[in-house]
Amino acid sequence: MTGPGGPAERELEQRARAAQSKAYAPYSKFNVGAAVRMSGQIFEGANVEIASYPLCVCAERNAIAAAVIAGARNLEAVAVCTSVSPPSSPCGACRQVLLEFASDPKAVTVVAINPAGERRSWTLAELIPDGFSGKELP
């Protein structure tokens, strides 16, 4: 576990915490908020769960979608807030989506936090080593 970063990282984490309160998870009660810094701007997302679980959308993917709609394309940092201990890292699908927008996965920090103040952090490259990207496509 690492300690909190500078003001930019703290703002990202605060926005993820705020987004968690907006999650829609009536079945699992597993509320997740995420904030991504892309192209210098912060975008938030919350998980949206429906009775047909495979059709649910994670907070991280909703935050990326908000960024894309705004025209942002370069992922710089991610914060994810869950209420479990230790804080949860992004799921595999979210890791793949995050990778799509990271020009350098070794430079993208992903921090997982919870309301109790616990934190874990990784680089995106650590979370999805040798991940599949568009570089493999013709």
Annotated catalytic, 60?
yes
- Positions of E strands within the chain: 33-38, 41-46, 75-81, 109-113, 119-123
| CA 10 to chain CA centroid, nearest Å | 14
Q: Are 117 and 129 in contact (CB under 8 A)?
A: no
Q: Which of 44, 49, 60, 76 is catalytic?
A: 60
Residues acting as catalytic residues: 60
